[in-house]
Amino acid sequence: MSSPAANIPQHVAIIMDGNGRWAKQRGLPRIEGHRRGVETVRTVTFAARDLGVRMLTLYAFSNENWKRPQDEVGALMGLLEFYLKKELDTFVRDRVRFRTVGRTDELPEGVQKQLRRTTEETKCFTDYTLVLALNYGSRTEMVDAARAYAAAVAAGKEKLNDSSWATFSRYLYTADMPEPDLVIRTSGEMRISNFLLLQAAYAEFIFTPVLWPDFTKADLAAAIADYNRRERRFGQTSEQLKPAPASK
Ligand code: FPP
């Protein structure tokens, strides 16, 4: 574990990008890039924990990714199911809690079954959580939250006049999760692509040119070191955040 004095982001969220370009550079089919991407998922899951991170969220499949060629979508779903089956024992042995955000009920039944199993069998672990964003998009999440909130108001469980971020955010997929402190995007693209738009309101962002299959523990450690050098002000001034001088 890292020194407790270091300012480690408790929740790191990553937009894993560049699998396709990694494959293209090598004259390989795109799915080879995704296969190598899964290896990086394994490495980074444990690297983050070693570095002191408590929660890692990975953007694995967006609402928009269904528009990719059908063979690529099918291959990604196959990889996901295989990954979940293979990782379950490791998660249990290494005490990794697994959960998801997104409309997982629209994923293939085989994937849903593995997701239920992995979530259920790891729900007792509390020290470290891996979250996969699957069939996720912030706009869909907003719509789902608004619907659930409206239903709660209609049922008399919430009062419209008392609406606040604190009450509304309980209806997001991330209701019981801390907000991300650090969002990383690989592959040199500098956009957020409908990922945790509300939750990342005060997150720090790091964009690295490294393609996801090449991303290593050292790259993650470098991102955390960069995060450490930043001052998070949450709307306040730098002076307000400095500790008051000790009185004589
Ligand atoms: C972006 O690369 C990556 C994705 C759309 C999906 C990420 C998926 C994986 C890492 C593999 C599956 C994950 C799990 C957890 C089993 P891209 O294809 O958009 O790359 P490009 O922009 O270079 O084309």
Check which CATH number belongs to the domain holding 207 and give it: 3.40.1180.10
**CB count in 10 Å sphere of residue 160:** 10
Asked whether residue 20 is assigned to any structural domain, the reply reads yes
pLDDT of residue 145 exceeding 90: yes
Compute the mean pLDDT over every residue in the chain, rounded to the nearest whole number: 95
Q: Residue 83 is part of which domain span?
A: 11-137+179-229
Total number of domains in the chain? 1
Is residue 135 annotated as a catalytic residue, yes or no?
A: no
180 lines ligand 1 (CB under 6 A): no
Section 198-203 average pLDDT: 98
CA of 37 to the centre of ligand 1 (A): 7
Asked whether residue 74 is assigned to any structural domain, the reply reads yes
Asked whether residue 35 is assigned to any structural domain, the reply reads yes
Is this model's pTM higher than 0.85 or not?
yes
Q: Which residue has the tokens 């196959």?
A: 78
Of 7, 65, 194, 214, catalytic: 65
Nearest atom in ligand 1 to the alpha carbon of residue 40 is 10
Is residue 89 annotated as a catalytic residue, yes or no?
A: no
Asked whether residue 15 is assigned to any structural domain, the reply reads yes
Asked whether residue 66 is assigned to any structural domain, the reply reads yes
- Residue type (1 letter), 227: Y
* 193 φ, ψ (degrees, to nearest 5): 50, 45
* Least confident window among 1-10, 58-67, 118-127, 208-217: 1-10
d(CA 116, CA 120): 6
Asked whether residue 153 is assigned to any structural domain, the reply reads no
CA of 164 to the centre of ligand 1 (A): 36
pLDDT of residue 94 exceeding 50: yes
pLDDT of residue 185 exceeding 50: yes
pLDDT of residue 71 exceeding 90: yes
Asked whether residue 240 is assigned to any structural domain, the reply reads no
Asked whether residue 71 is assigned to any structural domain, the reply reads yes
User: What is the pLDDT confidence band of residue 77, given thresholds at 50, 70 and 90?
Assistant: very high
Residue pair 88/121 in contact by the 8 Å Cβ criterion: yes
CA of 243 to the centre of ligand 1 (A): 43
pLDDT tens for 13-49 read 999 999 999 999 999 999 999 999 999 999 999 999 9
130 lines ligand 1 (CB under 6 A): no
215 lines ligand 1 (CB under 6 A): no
